[in-house]
């Protein structure tokens, strides 16, 4: 497969000189030692030079990696085109969302065949009124390699739109204010903007900004449109905390929220008096969070001050401190209260039961304690694994609750729930063209026992006829390829949703599994805590246990196992490959957080200090030792060099969450270790950020590329 002739790159011209395919070799990265001595231990890092994004040598090296990947993947171009065509055939290219009401208007988005981005539309709610365009993102994207919308907020009078855009992928957003009746942007602007909210006067805008170096949202400003003044109203000095603006659903109060990974606090301001001072609701207490809404002169507060699974309390607006909190709801010990949606005449509590969301509707008659003591109406969902959540509910005085539902086999749907009758009405189910029939597919929910007897939920989906007809061969082993996705960090519950792009795998016989491992949020904060800090190893062992059990139970072939994860899920990929490389045959690792020690020792990088509460602080000796024990980059020497699986590692030059050099260094170092002939590929998107391409067609091509790699490496026919 390989020959001595490498791909050459010219650092001065930044061009690639690629030899014939039969002679291709991966680029060889220079090794320039840059050791770090800490806690009596030397961290060796031969590739720290890759951190210089402006260096011609670095850029040339990255281009060389892309050229090598393109050369290896060249024979799959027809397959990529076939997969792209299949994916596109299952997407209704010209479509629109369900309109939702908001202050006398109806708002929705539209996509048009051939256009990369959505168009935001509205009309007066009165029947027969003409449609107008708020924002056409395709127009914003003209002449740009990348375009992403951040915040969007329409003024209460409907005349102004505040919105933010990022044209690099670095998640650095610029504020714009558009006059909607005239259709042009005002000169008012600001840089590095996060959240935005309008005051009741429709002239005063409140917004937050991020620090230039660490990208921490640390300051809040007030701006009156038509003026040049941007007045700072708050600064957060604690490096663990980010700030953001929110608003009560009744629009009477603006909230300034400060939060770390484990602690939060809120201040409030009457929306009608935007020049007044913010009032603190309750001072922050370490490891306690609370989240606020308002109804009838009471703040409703979801908090974990007394239970990890959160409870709901109320407090008078005049005296909102903890001494006046009165409990109105506390769930069962194993059922976390994940969210609440408050309206004038009812409240919807989102809980998680056995890892799946439930929506419980409580009518409000005027006495919160008694109201939440009543038996609620619970919205029922029919499938064993699904996602359900509140949808666009902008109106406070509402008679219906809008929610969304989808599953591994059911496309996304939007419903209106009638609070008075308890009936749900389907408003729209996403159309999936191309011959899709949900009855052709089946989903399952399994519970797999870990070594310490903890039960891990797993969601599965497969094509019925391909699984049951091919499950067991003459030798008693499944012939299906098995694909397992994992994340397991930040208390994030892995969504169990529909994906039209996943059909390309299911229709080729894949069993697709989502492992809800510890470190995620499926079973509440306790599940998160069991897979973070000095319990992080549970995340990795859970994932390995899930795969071993699925194989043992006939859900896949041992020689056809593929795994995928991104960001913190890329850390998962690196850790489990180091531990059990022989278990996997193809690995997709997106923007992987693999250089744990060097990143977490650099407080100048985005996220680092705030994430001491997720991973630990390596400046502390005990944290250092534990983190070092699993950091993928630091432990590559422990891997069996003969069993390294085929790997496609992907990153973006403008990623602000996991810097491009982490995967680049990881691949360069792994190349010096591996001794087998499986492909090790690095692909860098030179015009994108953490989420990859911004255009929907470009994003589909990226997925087709990934799936072509999987099919080829697992020997699955196209």
- Show which residues are catalytic: 567, 655, 690
Q: Cα–Cα distance between 117 and 698 in angstroms, integer?
A: 11
Q: How far is CA 2 from CA 20, 587, 607, in A?
A: 11, 21, 40
Do the Cβ atoms of 102 and 247 come closer than 8 Å? Answer: no
CA 550 to chain centre: 26
Identify the three-state secondary structure at position 236: coil
Q: Which long-range contacts (CB under 8 A, 24 or more apart) does 76-81 make?
A: 76/708, 76/709, 76/712, 79/708, 79/711, 79/712, 79/718, 80/701, 80/704, 80/705, 80/708, 81/704
Identify the three-state secondary structure at position 220: strand
Helical segments of 393-532, H only = 464-470, 503-506, 525-529
> With left for phi above 0 and alpha for psi between -120 and 50, is residue 591 left, alpha or beta?
left
Residue with tokens 């998680």: 352
Which tokens hold the place of 559?
A: 């020689």
Residue with tokens 């942007």: 185
Q: Which phi and psi (to 5°) does residue 590 adopt? A: -100, 135
Burial label for 444, CB within 10 Å (0-12, 13-18, 19+), is: middle
Do the Cβ atoms of 374 and 387 come closer than 8 Å? Answer: no
Q: Cα–Cα distance between 364 and 343 in angstroms, integer?
A: 9
Q: How far is CA 697 from CA 21, 325, 686, in A?
A: 29, 50, 17
Q: Cα–Cα distance between 443 and 448 in angstroms, integer?
A: 16
Complete DSSP assignment for 617-666: -TTSHHHHHHHHHH-TTTTGGGS-TT-PPEEEEEEETT-SSS-THHHHHH
Q: Cα–Cα distance between 46 and 417 in angstroms, integer?
A: 59
Q: What is the 3-state secondary structure (H, E, C) of 258-314?
A: EECCCCEEEEEEECCCCCCCCEECCCCCCCCCEEEEEECCEEEEEECCCCCCCEEEE
Do the Cβ atoms of 513 and 483 come closer than 8 Å? Answer: yes
- Name the residue among 706, 657, 701, 704 with its Cα closest to residue 166: 657
- Name the residue among 467, 425, 423 with its Cα closest to residue 442: 467
- Name the residue among 22, 668, 90 with its Cα closest to residue 433: 90
- Name the residue among 462, 465, 516, 526 with its Cα closest to residue 493: 516
Q: Cα–Cα distance between 198 and 204 in angstroms, integer?
A: 6
Burial label for 641, CB within 10 Å (0-12, 13-18, 19+), is: middle
Q: Which phi and psi (to 5°) does residue 663 adopt? A: -65, -30
Q: Cα–Cα distance between 448 and 454 in angstroms, integer?
A: 8
Strand ranges across the sheet with 386-390? 386-390, 400-407, 413-418, 423-429
């Amino acid at each position: 497969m390989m020959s001595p002739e490498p791909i050459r790159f010219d650092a001065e011209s930044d061009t690639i000189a690629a030899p014939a395919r039969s002679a291709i070799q991966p680029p060889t990265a220079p090794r320039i030692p840059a050791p770090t001595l800490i806690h009596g231990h030397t961290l060796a890092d031969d590739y720290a030079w890759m951190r210089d994004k402006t260096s011609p040598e670095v850029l040339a090296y990255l281009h060389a990696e892309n050229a090598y990947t393109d050369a290896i993947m060249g024979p799959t171009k027809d397959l990529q085109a076939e997969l792209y065509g299949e994916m596109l055939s299952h997407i209704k290219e010209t479509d629109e969302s369900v309109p939702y009401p908001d202050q006398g208007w109806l708002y929705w988005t539209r996509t048009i065949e051939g256009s990369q981005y959505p168009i935001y539309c509205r009309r007066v709610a009165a029947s027969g009124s003409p449609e107008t365009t708020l924002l056409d993102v395709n127009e914003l994207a003209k002449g740009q390699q990348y375009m992403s919308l951040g915040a969007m907020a329409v003024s209460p009078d409907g005349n102004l739109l505040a919105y933010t855009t990022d044209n690099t992928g670095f998640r650095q957003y610029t504020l714009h204010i558009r006059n909607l009746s005239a259709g042009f942007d005002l000169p008012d602007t600001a840089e590095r903007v996060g959240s935005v909210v309008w005051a009741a006067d429709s002239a005063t805008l409140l917004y937050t900004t991020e620090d230039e170096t660490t990208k921490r949202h640390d300051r809040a400003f007030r701006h009156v449109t038509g003026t040049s003044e941007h007045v700072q109203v708050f600064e957060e000095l604690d490096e663990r905390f980010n700030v953001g603006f929110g608003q009560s659903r009744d629009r009477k109060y603006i909230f300034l929220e400060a939060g770390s990974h484990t602690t939060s606090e809120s201040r409030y301001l009457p929306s009608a008096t935007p020049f007044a001072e913010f009032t603190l609701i309750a001072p922050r207490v370490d490891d306690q969070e609370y989240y606020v809404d308002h109804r009838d002169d009471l703040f409703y507060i979801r908090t974990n001050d007394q239970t990890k699974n959160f409870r709901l309390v109320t407090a008078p607006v005049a005296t909102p401190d903890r001494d006046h909190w009165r409990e109105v709801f506390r769930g069962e010990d194993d059922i976390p209260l994940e969210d609440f949606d408050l309206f004038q005449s009812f409240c919807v509590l989102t809980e998680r039961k056995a890892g799946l969301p439930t929506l419980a509707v409580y009518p409000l008659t005027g006495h919160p304690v008694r109201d939440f003591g009543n038996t609620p109406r619970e919205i029922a969902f029919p499938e064993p694994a699904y996602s359900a959540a509140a949808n666009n509910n902008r109106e406070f005085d509402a008679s219906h609750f809008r929610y969304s539902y989808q599953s591994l086999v059911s496309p996304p749907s939007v419903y209106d729930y009638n609070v008075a009758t308890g009936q749900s009405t389907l408003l729209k189910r996403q159309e999936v063209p191309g011959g899709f029939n949900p009855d052709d597919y089946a989903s399952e929910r399994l519970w797999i026992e870990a070594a310490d007897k903890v039960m891990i939920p797993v969601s599965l989906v497969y094509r019925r006829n391909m699984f049951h007809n091919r499950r067991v061969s003459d030798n008693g082993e499944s012939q299906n390829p098995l694909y397992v996705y994992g994340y397991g960090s930040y208390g994030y519950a892995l969504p169990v949703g529909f994906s039209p792009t996943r059909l390309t795998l299911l229709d080729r016989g894949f069993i697709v599994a989502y492992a809800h491992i510890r470190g995620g949020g499926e079973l509440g904060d306790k599940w998160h805590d069991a897979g973070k800090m000095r319990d992080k190893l549970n995340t990795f062992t859970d994932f390995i246990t899930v795969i071993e059990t699925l194989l043992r139970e006939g859900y896949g072939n041992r020689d056809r196992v593929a795994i995928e994860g991104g960001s913190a899920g890329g850390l998962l990929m690196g850790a489990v490959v180091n531990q059990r490389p022989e278990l996997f045959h193809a690995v997709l690792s997106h923007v992987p957080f693999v250089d744990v020690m060097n990143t977490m020792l650099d407080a100048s990088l985005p996220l680092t200090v705030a994430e001491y509460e997720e991973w630990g602080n390596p400046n502390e000796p005990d944290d250092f030792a534990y983190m070092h024990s699993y950091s993928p980059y630091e432990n590559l020497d422990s891997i069996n060099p003969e069993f390294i699986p085929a790997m496609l590692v992907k990153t973006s030059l403008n990623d602000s969450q996991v810097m491009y050099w982490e995967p680049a260094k990881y691949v360069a170092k792994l190349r010096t270790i591996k001794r087998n002939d499986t492909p090790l590929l690095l692909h860098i998107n030179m015009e994108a950020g953490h989420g990859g391409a911004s255009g929907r067609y470009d994003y589909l091509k990226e997925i087709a590329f990934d799936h072509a790699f999987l099919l080829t490496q697992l020997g699955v026919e196209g």
